[in-house]
Amino acid sequence: MSKNDETYSKHRYEINIVECAYEVVQRMKAVKKRPKNQISVEEYAFQLREAIQAYKWSIDFDSSASEVVRKRACVISPTHPSFDFWLALHLSVEDADEIPMLLDAYFNGEFEEIDNFLGHVQYFVLKIMKARVHFDIEAQKKEVINWVREKRAVLKKSEADKNPQININIEQLNFIKNETSIDIQIFNQLTILLQHLNFEQFNEFVNIYQEKTKAEPDENEVENDDQLNIKEPSTVRIPLTLEYPKVLDYFMQLKKHKNNGHIKKKDIENLVKANFEFRGIKPSGKKKHLDVDIEKQILNQYVFTFYSKHDYSYYGNKAKIYCQFMIDNFLLFKHDNLTTLRKNFSRKSSGPYPFS
């Protein structure tokens, strides 16, 4: 069978995040009267688009692969950190009478074994459904709640029959139960402000994905590692759990270096705000190439040190994203090859290192 004859298929209960996102947006669009203070359809579509891109980074998505391979890659594994989020959205658009069988399939490990799946559904998935879905899902929520109750009852009876001591980590469950913020760490890492597309562009992205046409590479991804860096600065903002003042202090070292008195504080502020995403701070700034007067390999080590010793976030292609950060923001790297830069990213400078 030739590549052109390959067909894409998945199990009825598996979740393709692109198809899921498209269906959720369509359901939201169909709502005739929405509360005035509710997030707009357009902004919600932006967030889902960003979540899709973050997922692709996390699995090292190959944009040059065949259409079938790319579609299959978007079928999320039950062990992926963002699975709870996508399961919540998928349950919200699933036929209510199918939900118990779908949850049973994951509970029984038909796709992959999941640790404490029941706890995830009860304490995370339901919360996400209630807070992140903006159309009527009462029937779906009822089915999920009933399924959890039934499973809890069965497990309780089973445990009582075996041992009167319930073998559950109560401290862990209480911590999860008391976690009231839906902006959990997993979702925060997903909401990278990648690109402000309008709603029509979002739909076009999904429709192109679904059509059986010749696959085109994503315009925001490097199609081949042998390509040079993106011609225009990437719109990717790097998600951080660090606070803005700490990041600003780190990069202010560039201005304080003896050779860089020409760099202004506002240049460093723009560098940080245009390239990193902080919780509670609205993204701003535009990427510009700073003229830093230090040895190139020292600047490389400076960025690598921040990447490896300060930003503890984990996701696929993280090193590449930081290499693109250097290409986008420093004249010394403007014309560098992304692949070559990535291979040498961890190499230290031979001379004295002036930064802490």
Contact 94, 138 (CB under 8 A): no
DSSP assignment string, 33-72: S--TTSPPHHHHHHHHHHHHHHHHHHTT--TTS-HHHHHH
Q: How far apart are CA 195 and CA 193, in angstroms?
A: 6
For 329-352, how does the pLDDT look when each residue is reduced to its tens digit (9 = 90+)? 999 999 999 989 998 998 888 888
Verify that 137 and 244 share a domain, yes or no.
no
* 271 assigned to some structural domain: yes
Both 22 and 168 in one domain: the answer is yes
Q: Supply the mean pLDDT for the chain.
A: 80
Residue 245 located in a structural domain:
yes
Residue 316 lies in a domain: yes
State how many domains the chain has: 2
Assess contact for 289 and 307: CB atoms under 8 A: no
Same domain, 11 and 139: yes
Tell me, yes or no, whether 83 and 185 share the same domain: yes
Per-position b or e across 298-315, b if 16+ CB within 10 A of its CB: bbbbbbbebbeeebeeeb
Q: What is the pLDDT averaged over residues 315-330?
A: 87
For the cut 90, the answer to whether the pLDDT of residue 6 exceeds it is no
In this predicted model, what pLDDT tens digit does every residue of 200-235 receive, in sequence order? 444 444 444 443 333 333 333 333 333 334 446 667
Statement to judge: residues 140 and 23 lie in one domain: yes
How far is residue 325's CA from residue 187's CA, in Å, rounded to a whole number?
Answer: 23
253 lies in the same domain as 164 = no
Question: Over the stretch 286-312, which tens digit does the pLDDT of each residue have?
Answer: 999 999 999 999 999 999 999 988 887
- Residue 28 identity: M
Structural domain ending residue among the three candidates 190, 212, 247: 190
Structure tokens at 141: 């929520």
Give domain status of residue 350, yes or no: no
Looking at residues 249-276, what average pLDDT do you find? 93
Residue 226 resides in a domain: no
Report whether 78 contacts 111 (CB < 8 A): yes
Whether residue 185 sits in one domain with residue 94: yes
pLDDT computed for residue 254 by the predictor: 94
Q: Nearest CA to 52 among 211, 202, 181? A: 202
Model pTM score: 0.49
Q: Name the band, by pLDDT with cuts 50, 70 and 90, for residue 118.
A: very high
Owning domain of residue 304: 238-343
Last residue of a domain, one of 190, 214, 230: 190
Residue 30 shares a structural domain with residue 175: yes
Over residues 132-159, the pLDDT tens digits come to 899 999 999 999 999 999 999 998 887 7
Q: Same domain, yes or no, for 185 and 244?
A: no
- The answer on 124 and 22 residing in a single domain is yes
Q: Are 140 and 129 in contact (CB under 8 A)?
A: yes
Question: Are 177 and 39 found together in one domain?
Answer: yes
Residue 315 DSSP label: -
124 domain residue, yes or no: yes
Rounded to whole angstroms, the Cα distance separating 132 from 139 reads 16
Structural domain includes residue 221: no
